[in-house]
């Protein structure tokens, strides 16, 4: 995949400003698109957009197909006449800088139920747009809506603890009748999410901005995907986990990362040319322009951990589907705009798989700062077909990282000064400039680094539970001249390139 030389910002929609305790797809999303446009940015990268479950992580969603109801804008529901101004009085406990998920979830779902009741009253005869959506999306929506309704009935317990007939998916028609009201509600909120996101994406496209979406390679154990397709995952007959995913000890954790996601039965999936995966990728491409595959190396080989393990140490590498998978997807769906997240323990075979399909890999500039100039994460070593970030959602912010290294007297801060030939007090800005000036075609900077924020703005601490994914920014943090600064950088470093008009006439002067 080739993307022209360009620049963008990484910001999950939950981190947007707003009055309701969490960022959403309302006016502030459109204002952020305007900011991107003013700043000369042509890419907006987001994290997975699914309904979050365990630990509020967008990488542990209840569905690989559904959208996050918490992102639905109350203001847009008001504009539809489904809520009143009295209904959307802002949360008095809302924090402008941090999401308190408990109160936000309770408040938002109360609003969504009010909107659903108004929708039913307003559309006593079936609403065509809604019924068309339910018909088009039934291949995932029916199972998801029943799953979430059953989960609510069972006090949000994992599906293995439900009524036995639901665990085994027997007598589903009876359950659909029993849970019909809540199933309708679940379909309604998915309809609203998809409608609102479609408008945000349309607006971004009008401004020349492409959205980079995120596709986690694995899905959550407690998800509609696993519950409805047990035969495709490493699940025993009783619903218990035979094997789970993770990574061995690495930069982030001495005991590795035990993700707990079930693994795929790749041979079983191959029998119908990876039909479930084709649906998943096609669905995501209805919402985004480019797909970042998280943990790409899992397609080459994945770390298989026993289902009852307490850490990720005692696992083993198992061969993945590799080129057979991508050749099949390419044959069925055509050339795909894919970015390969190739961080961590990367072997020659992973690099070969990535390069065989011309997928750009990822460079994290923070990883390059050290003792030697031959580090592949340093800008002077980049190739064109790659993506550079200063950091990621799993890292410290760049300002936080630099402060930590300086406080530890590790020598990394001083090495960075020499590398950049910069001894001022805004090292983050200089590292961003180095990323912009590199050969990498794609440069995407986390919003926290754009704002030069410390670790108070960090998004995630891997292998920890609680206190993650809750950072938000405010418009007051956007300094005067910030957009112009990045527009100037985009022009200086040819992101995007300025094209000559077709059939342009080049005049020459003869002496």
Asked if the structure places residue 236 within a domain, the reply is yes
C-alpha to C-alpha distance for 72 and 195, rounded to whole angstroms:
9
% of the chain at pLDDT higher than 90: 86
3-state secondary structure of 460: coil
Reduced to 3 states (helix: H, G, I; strand: E, B; else coil), residue 72 is coil
Q: Is there a contact between 299 and 322 (Cβ–Cβ < 8 Å)?
A: yes
pLDDT 10s digits, 239-260: 999 999 998 887 767 898 898 9
Instruction: Judge whether 253 lies within some domain.
Output: yes
Is position 243 within any domain? yes
C-beta of residue 7 within 8 angstroms of C-beta of residue 45:
no
Whole-angstrom CA distances from 204 to 41, 50, 67, 297, 443 are 11, 20, 18, 31, 18
Confidence tier at 504 by pLDDT (50, 70, 90):
very low
Across 150-164, b (16+ Cβ under 10 Å) vs e yields bbebeeeebbeebee
For residue 249, being part of any structural domain is answered with yes
Q: What is the β-pairing status of strands 301-306 and 316-319? A: antiparallel
295: pLDDT strictly greater than 80: yes
Flag whether 326 is in a domain: yes
Tokens of 370: 């050290």
Q: Could you check whether the bond before residue 51 is cis, i.e. omega within 30 degrees of 0?
A: no
- pLDDT for residue 498: 58
pLDDT given at position 92: 67
DSSP run (H or E) holding 265: none
pLDDT at residue 68 is higher than 50: yes
In a domain, 491, yes or no: no
Rounded to whole angstroms, how far apart are CA atoms 487 and 8? Answer: 11
What is the span of the domain harbouring residue 302? 229-334
**Residue 482: Cβ within 10 Å count:** 15
Residue 312 lies in a domain: yes
Q: Which of 294, 300, 342, 449 is catalytic?
A: 294
Q: What DSSP string describes 312-368?
A: SSS-EEEE--HHHHHHHHHHHH-S--EEE---SS--HHHHHHHHHTT--EEEEHHHH
Is 394 catalytic? The answer is: yes
Domain-embedded: residue 314: yes
Nearest CA to 194 among 284, 107, 262?
Answer: 284
Is the pLDDT reported for residue 1 higher than 90? no
Asked whether the predicted pLDDT for residue 503 surpasses 80, the reply is no
Whether 275 has a pLDDT exceeding 60, the answer reads yes
Q: Which of 329, 266, 287 lies closest to 65, judged by CA? A: 287
Mean pLDDT for all residues in the chain: 94
Q: CB of 315 within 8 A of CB of 366?
A: no
One of 137, 143, 222, 394 is an active-site residue; which one? 394
Average pLDDT for residues 280-298, to the nearest whole number?
97
User: Which pTM value belongs to this model?
Assistant: 0.94
Paired sense of beta strands 210-216 and 43-45, if any: parallel
Residue of 56, 182, 300, 341 marked active site: 341
Mean pLDDT over 21-46 rounds to 97
425 is catalytic: no
pLDDT tens digits for range 352-363: 999 999 999 999
Q: Cα angle vertex 308, ends 225, 252, to 5°? A: 80
What pLDDT does 488 receive?
96
| Total domains in the fold of the chain | 1
Share of the chain above pLDDT 70, in %: 95
Tell whether the model's pLDDT for residue 234 goes beyond 80. yes
Distance from C-alpha of 395 to C-alpha of 400, rounded to nearest angstrom: 9
Measuring CA to CA, how many Å separate 444 from each of 142, 175, 367, 436, 441?
A: 36, 46, 16, 9, 10
pLDDT at 502 (0 to 100) = 47
Per-residue pLDDT reduced to its tens digit, 106-115: 999 999 999 9
Separation between Cα atoms, residue 347 and residue 367, nearest integer Å: 17
Per-residue pLDDT, 257: 86
DSSP string over 214-244: EEESS--SSSHHHHH-GGGBSB-TTS-BSEE
Beta-carbon contacts of residue 96 (< 8 Å; ≥ 6 apart): 17, 472, 474
pLDDT digits (tens, 9 = 90+) for 441-473: 999 999 999 999 999 999 999 878 788 999 999
| pLDDT of the residue at 344 | 83
Which stretch of 269-273, 317-321, 368-372 has the lowest confidence by average pLDDT? 368-372
Amino acid 252: pLDDT: 66
Q: What is the pLDDT of residue 126?
A: 73
Q: State both tokens at 16.
A: 């947007």
- pLDDT tens-digit series, residues 192-208: 999 999 999 999 999 99
Q: Sorting pLDDT into bands at 50, 70 and 90, what band is 508?
A: very low
How far apart are the C-alpha atoms of 57 and 60, rounded to whole Å? 5
Q: How many CA atoms lie within 13 A of 499 on its CB side?
A: 6
pLDDT confidence bin for 284, thresholds 50/70/90: very high
Inter-CA distances, 278 with 22, 63, 217, 234, Å: 32, 15, 13, 20
Q: Specify whether 421 is catalytic.
A: no
Specify the pLDDT at position 505.
Answer: 41
- Distance of alpha carbon 493 from alpha carbon 234, whole angstroms: 48
pLDDT at residue 262 tops 70: yes
For residue 477, CA distances in Å to 96, 449, 451, 482 come to: 11, 12, 7, 10
Are 16 and 24 a contacting pair, CB within 8 Å? Answer: yes
User: What is the tens place of the pLDDT at every residue in 306-316?
Assistant: 999 999 999 99
> Which residues neighbour 378 within 8 Å (Cβ) at sequence distance 6 or greater?
365, 368, 419
């Amino acid at each position: 995949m080739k993307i022209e030389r360009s620049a963008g910002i990484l910001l999950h929609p939950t981190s947007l400003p707003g009055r309701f305790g969490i960022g959403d797809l309302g006016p502030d999303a459109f204002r952020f698109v305007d900011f991107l446009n003013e700043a000369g940015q042509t890419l907006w990268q987001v994290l997975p957009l699914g309904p979050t479950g365990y630990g509020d992580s967008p990488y542990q969603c209840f569905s690989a197909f559904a959208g996050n109801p918490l992102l639905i804008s109350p203001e847009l529901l008001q504009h539809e006449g489904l809520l009143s101004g009295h209904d959307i009085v802002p949360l008095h406990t809302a924090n402008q800088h941090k999401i308190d998920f408990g109160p936000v979830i309770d408040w938002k779902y109360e609003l969504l139920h009010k909107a659903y009741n108004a929708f039913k009253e307003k559309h006593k005869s079936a609403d065509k747009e809604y019924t068309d959506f339910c018909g088009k999306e039934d291949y995932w929506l029916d199972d998801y809506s029943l799953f979430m309704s059953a989960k609510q009935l069972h006090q949000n317990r994992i599906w293995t603890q439900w009524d036995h007939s639901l665990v085994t998916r027997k007598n589903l028609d009876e359950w659909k009748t029993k849970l019909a009201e809540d199933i309708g509600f679940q379909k309604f909120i998915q309809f609203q999410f998809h409608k609102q996101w479609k408008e945000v994406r349309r607006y971004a496209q009008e401004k020349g901005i492409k959205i980079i979406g995120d596709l986690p390679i694995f899905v959550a154990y407690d998800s509609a995907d696993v519950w409805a397709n047990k035969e495709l995952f490493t699940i025993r007959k009783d619903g218990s986990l035979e094997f789970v995913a993770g990574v061995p000890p690495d930069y982030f954790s001495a005991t590795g990362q035990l993700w707990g996601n079930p693994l795929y039965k790749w041979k079983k999936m191959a029998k119908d040319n990876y039909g479930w995966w084709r649906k998943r990728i096609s669905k995501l491409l209805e919402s985004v322009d480019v797909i970042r595959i998280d943990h790409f190396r899992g397609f080459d080989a994945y770390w298989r951990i026993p289902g009852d393990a307490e850490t990720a140490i005692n696992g083993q590498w198992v061969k993945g589907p590799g080129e057979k998978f991508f050749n099949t997807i390419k044959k069925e769906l055509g050339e795909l705009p894919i970015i390969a997240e190739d961080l961590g323990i990367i072997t020659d075979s992973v690099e070969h798989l990535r390069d065989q399909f011309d997928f750009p890999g990822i460079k994290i500039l923070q990883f390059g700062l050290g003792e030697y100039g031959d580090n592949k994460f340093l800008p002077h070593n980049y190739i064109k077909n790659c993506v550079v970030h200063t950091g990621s959602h799993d890292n410290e912010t760049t300002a936080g990282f630099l402060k930590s290294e300086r406080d530890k007297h590790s020598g990394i801060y001083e090495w960075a000064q020499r590398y950049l030939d910069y001894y001022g007090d805004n090292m983050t800005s200089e590292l961003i400039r180095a990323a912009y000036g590199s050969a990498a075609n794609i440069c995407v900077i986390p919003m926290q680094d754009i704002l030069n924020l410390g670790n108070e703005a960090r998004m995630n601490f891997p292998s920890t539970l609680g206190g993650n994914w809750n950072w938000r920014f405010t418009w007051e943090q956007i300094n005067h001249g910030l957009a112009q600064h990045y527009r100037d950088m985009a022009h200086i470093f040819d992101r995007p390139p300025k094209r000559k008009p077709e059939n342009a006439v080049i005049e020459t002067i003869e002496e």
